[in-house]
Amino acid sequence: MKYKNIIDMHTHTDNSFDGNHSTMYMCENACAKGLRAVAFTDHIEVDFYREKNFDKTAVQSFFDVTKARSAFNGKLVVCAGIELGQPTYDTATAEEIISERDYDFVIGSIHNLRGEEDFWYLDYSKYDIDKLLSEYFDELCTLAAWGKFDTMAHVTYPLRYIVGEHSIPVDMAKYQSKIDEALKLLVENDRALEINTSGLRQKLGRTMPDEDVVKRFKELGGKMVTVGSDAHYAEHLGAGIETGMDIAKRCGFNSVMLFQNRTPVEIPIE
């Protein structure tokens, strides 16, 4: 491995509806791959919290991570995380979820627009793509302004489907002012930006966000980035993390962040 400390700050176990492997199995694999730390960040979609039993998922996920942390003590740093989807659509519930358990790390995500399905499921022939993306970036601004998470996940997530899966071209310049606004709000609130490496192994072929956005975050005063594979399978643990670290470094970041007890710990890129 190129870098001394590889940490993966975004992963899903089988406690996520789309996850596949147990927390313990994921930890075994992380150790075998030589990772130093893993954050388990199972999905909790705030806008469907009780309706789709995410309240039960949250309990089980936290319990499994606590067990794994003790089983792998001294071998692997295990962070108890959560990926909060759409927290700004119901901030009261989101704040209740965060305060319910002693999380190390909270990821803030937008997977769908209000009242819509996940971008994954949309039939793009039936939508005005420009309108969808404008609304998506507005929601990112609202999320960044709320700011009660540690890192903002996979900025440009809809591109995974629009550009990656459906090969519909998008002119990102149109949304630059909205992206800038979201990044500035992250800076003001002292939050991190995630470099999500899942796009590298998917049709999109690049990180979410890509290097241009990470660079812009730095220019606007951004101080912290996290890197995560968004692994939903044990074999994807750590995938692309070094590429994410390369991007961070090229954009002027000397470290990536690990979070423990909601506090950033600097891990030098070396």
Binding-site ranges for Zn ion (CB under 5 A) = 83, 109, 230
Closest approach, Cβ 196 to Zn ion, in A, equals 8
- The nearer residue to Zn ion, 47 or 83, going by C-beta atoms, is 83
- d(C-alpha 141, C-alpha 178), whole Å: 7
Closest approach, Cβ 230 to Zn ion, in A, equals 4
- The nearer residue to Zn ion, 109 or 207, going by C-beta atoms, is 109
- The nearer residue to Zn ion, 121 or 173, going by C-beta atoms, is 121
Token pair in block for residue 205: 């072929």
Q: Which helix (H) or strand (E) holds 84?
A: strand 77-85
Closest approach, Cβ 83 to Zn ion, in A, equals 5
- The nearer residue to Zn ion, 74 or 148, going by C-beta atoms, is 148
Closest approach, Cβ 78 to Zn ion, in A, equals 17
Burial-class residue 102 by CB neighbours within 10 Å (0-12, 13-18, 19+): exposed
Token pair in block for residue 188: 């003001």
Q: Tell me which amino acid residue 27 is.
A: C
Closest approach, Cβ 268 to Zn ion, in A, equals 25
Closest approach, Cβ 164 to Zn ion, in A, equals 14
Burial-class residue 196 by CB neighbours within 10 Å (0-12, 13-18, 19+): buried
Q: Check if the beta carbon of residue 210 is closer than 8 Å to that of residue 156.
A: yes
Q: Within its chain, how far is the Cα of 15 from the centroid?
A: 16
- The nearer residue to Zn ion, 142 or 220, going by C-beta atoms, is 142
- d(C-alpha 141, C-alpha 254), whole Å: 26
Closest approach, Cβ 221 to Zn ion, in A, equals 25
- The nearer residue to Zn ion, 17 or 250, going by C-beta atoms, is 17
- The nearer residue to Zn ion, 85 or 222, going by C-beta atoms, is 85
The strand pair at 263-268 and 255-260 is best described as antiparallel
DSSP string of 184-216?
Answer: HHHHHTT-EEEEEGGGGGSTT-S-BS-HHHHHH
